[in-house]
Amino acid sequence: MAKPKNAIDDRRPPRPRMKNKEYRRELRLLHGELVAMQEWVKRTGAKICIVFEGRDTAGKGGTIKAITERVSPRVFRVVALPAPTPRERSQMYLQRYVPHLPGAGEVTIFDRSWYNRAGVERVMGFCTEGQAAEFLQAAPDVERAIVRSGVILLKYWLEVSADEQTRRLQSRIDDPRKVWKLSELDLRSYGMWHEYSRCRDEMFRATDTSWAPWYVAGADDKKRARLNVITHVLGNVPYEPLMHREVSLPERHKADGYREPAMPLRHIPTPY
């Protein structure tokens, strides 16, 4: 039997987790390409929208951080909307996301997006089944309009296994540096693995279109996932390589009598 479209079970044996030294070396090269893409976006007025979805702990935040680490926040804007206000709840569902779509010369990255309605809202009962069905019917047409307006729309689902999700949540519980990441919603949704799977599958069937397809990235190895996603983004944006500029620092002006002031400035302690 042929594997269904967007099947996410990869039967190849897992590769060993990437070492940090190799990861940083590869990421450094990709960061240079992201800068080249940024300059192309600024010069051409391109509009790029990248959507990240996935279960809790799938690594969306870390992937976004890896993408934006060396580029300008004026070009690469990250959108992570809070819970809707009473006014926003009274609007058409997709309305609150439209103002955040990219303008000319911008890359907008959604850390969760309008697909909240197809995932967490549906699973946790924050919307009705009728509202979820209405969204799944409307989303492809809205995304067609987004693409027709000249936006390059890339949608990524980061897929994490059940065992790896358990390990990551337990790490948040045990590590005081990560405990802030652990929400009550995370704990409630942990036991609803299969409910999320059913909603994910229906979302793929309804919204995986030729103009806005879903791309699935295995995310049990966070380092490999980040590199794979960045490589895929670069491969789907027709940017041009950045030409190296020869730059020389100018000579500094002479002091012309200036001396450092003898003011009692408050220097911070230096324990390191």
Q: In this structure, is residue 58 part of a structural domain?
A: yes
Which residues, at least 6 apart from 171, have a Cβ–Cβ distance to it below 8 Å?
178
Give a yes or no: residue 24 inside a domain.
Answer: no
Tokens of 34: 């992201």
In a domain, 13, yes or no: no
Distance CA 118, CA 193 (A): 15
* pLDDT band with cut points at 50, 70 and 90 for residue 45: very high
Within a domain: 262: no
pLDDT at 6 over 70: no
Number of domains in the chain: 1
What single-letter amino acid sits at 81?
L
Q: DSSP states of 100-148 as a string? A: GS--TTEEEEEES-GGGTTTHHHHTTSS-HHHHHHHHHHHHHHHHHHHH
Domain contains 259: no
- Is residue 243 over pLDDT 90? no
Residue 183 maps to a domain: yes
Which CATH number goes with the domain that contains 225? 3.40.50.300
State pLDDT tens for residues 84-110: 999 999 999 999 999 999 999 999 999
Mean pLDDT computed over 137-164: 97
Strand stretches in the chain, DSSP E: 47-54, 76-79, 106-111, 151-159, 214-218
Give the span between the Cα atoms of 50 and 75, in whole angstroms. Answer: 13
Question: What average pLDDT score do residues 147-168 get?
Answer: 96
Backbone region of residue 57 per phi and psi (left: phi > 0; alpha: psi in -120 to 50; beta: other values): left
This prediction's pTM:
0.88
Establish if 185 belongs to a structural domain.
yes
Residue 3 pLDDT exceeds 60:
no
| Domain span holding position 170 | 32-236
Task: Confirm whether 15 is domain-assigned.
Answer: no
* pLDDT band (50, 70, 90) for residue 11: low
